[in-house]
Amino acid sequence: MSRHLRHPKYTYQKDNIYYFSRSVPVDLRPFYTRPRIVQSLKTSCYRSADQAASNYSAKLDNYWLGLRLKTVDLPAAHLLCSNKTADRSSTPTIEEALKVYFTVVGKDKKKLFFTTAERYIGYLIKCLGSRPIDCYSTKDATILRSWLTDRGLSNSSLNRVFSGIKAVINFVVREQGLDISNPFSKVYIPTDLTAKKRRPVSEGNLLKLKNECYALDDDIRWLVGLITDTGVRLSEAVGLMIDDIELKSPLPYLYIRPHPHRRLKTVSSERKIPLVDTSLWAAKRLKKHYKGLYCFPRYTNEERCNSNSASAAINKWIKTIAHKDDVIHGLRHSFRDRLRSVETPPDMIDQLGGWTLRSIGQGYGDGYSLELMQSFLEKMASPAPC
């Protein structure tokens, strides 16, 4: 018969019965009438006593932790909105404000609009809690800034988060006529001096890309080719419909206009761009090979335009041909530089690229004709390879 050399932890035996025995910690003795806890386990079995003692001890540890927490200052108590203040407030909570924002502003918006706003407000709630919007302070805004910085967000990301939060609160303040200020409106965000500026694709690398587009001659290369000499945004190109390409006109052009599956970034983004050089070649290939509704059906359907997937695939390919830092958006930067090099008027550059007009005067009249824009684009474009 085996013999145990010692009793289970926190036990002793008396008359062959195990007893649980544990000393009360010194800091908790004011809560007890005696300095030691002793209780019969009502068993003479070693295994049963060991299990019962472990359970008793674990329960005591949890209870003692609760007692200790009651005697210390509440962590982050300065972040709490007092119950009295919250009870007196008649303003909506930040969660209610978000619902109002979605109901009114969210009409006809895509899924990205909702997920982005929910993420930004989610940051606020996770850091500061859900309160009536007049229960946040400018001090809270700085706490949120520090909290986001500790999570590794860059200054540009901080700007986006605070812009989203401000948009929700400002809208509800105006919509409900509330006499409160937005505590998140004036928080200081440092300038990000380490952020990399997107570089334009050099003339040499641009020519390499064009030649590879002609050589590979598939839908990805048609997409890149279309962008090279039109400077359109990737989402604008990916969301094109076949009818947006006009080749029967005396001057072939691309019509950038909004569609249910793809909105435009600004009002100025709706425009017609003459097709020249590689972009004209790509447009002809698209017209010849696609008889459906969309130019790039692998990325676009009647519900959505997935330009992010296109960006990932194209950027990976571009880096193998051009510079390791070159990306598809760099072609848009190159487009503007190339137009500058042939002394294109600045307001024509803005019209071609769909950039926001810089003055009221630029919005007067119908803008430049296709013929005049084509003349500058042809000066800008490199000769097509034979």
pLDDT at res. 19? 94
pLDDT of residue 386: 39
Long-range contacts from 334-340, C-beta under 8 angstroms, 24+ separation: 334/200, 334/201, 334/202, 334/203, 334/206, 335/228, 335/229, 335/230, 335/231, 336/200, 336/231, 337/200, 338/203, 338/380, 339/231, 339/376, 339/377, 339/380
Answer yes or no: do 160 and 276 share one domain: no
Consecutive H or E run containing 11: strand 11-14
The pLDDT value recorded for residue 194 is 56
Q: Domain count for the chain, please give it.
A: 3
- Are 233 and 142 in a shared domain? no
According to the model, what pLDDT value does residue 2 have?
Answer: 45
N-to-C CA span, the chain: 98
pLDDT of the residue at 236? 95
Structural domain contains residue 76? no
- Find how far residue 232's CA is from the centre of its chain: 23
Paired with 22 in beta bridges are 37
104/226 same-domain check: no
For residue 84, what pLDDT is reported?
47
Query: Is the Cα torsion angle 74, 78, 84, 86 positive or negative in sign?
Result: negative
Contact 370, 272 (CB under 8 A): yes
Which pLDDT value is given to residue 384?
45
For the CA atoms of 239, 243, 244, 247, the dihedral, rounded to the nearest 10 degrees, stands at 140
Q: Are residues 63 and 97 in the same domain?
A: no
365 vs 355: CA distance, rounded Å: 17
- pLDDT on residue 168: 95
Q: Which domain holds residue 267?
A: 203-380
pLDDT of residue 385: 45
Mean pLDDT by 10 residues, the chain (386 residues): 67 92 88 89 92 91 82 58 60 93 87 90 92 91 91 88 94 92 88 68 93 95 96 94 93 94 86 95 93 91 88 93 91 94 93 80 76 94 54
Indicate whether 299 and 359 sit together in one domain.
Answer: yes
Residues 221 and 133 in one domain: no
CATH number at residue 362: 1.10.443.10
Select from 156, 175, 194 the last residue of a domain: 175
pLDDT the model gives residue 359: 64
Same domain, 267 and 317: yes
Claim to verify: residue 55 and residue 92 sit in the same structural domain: no
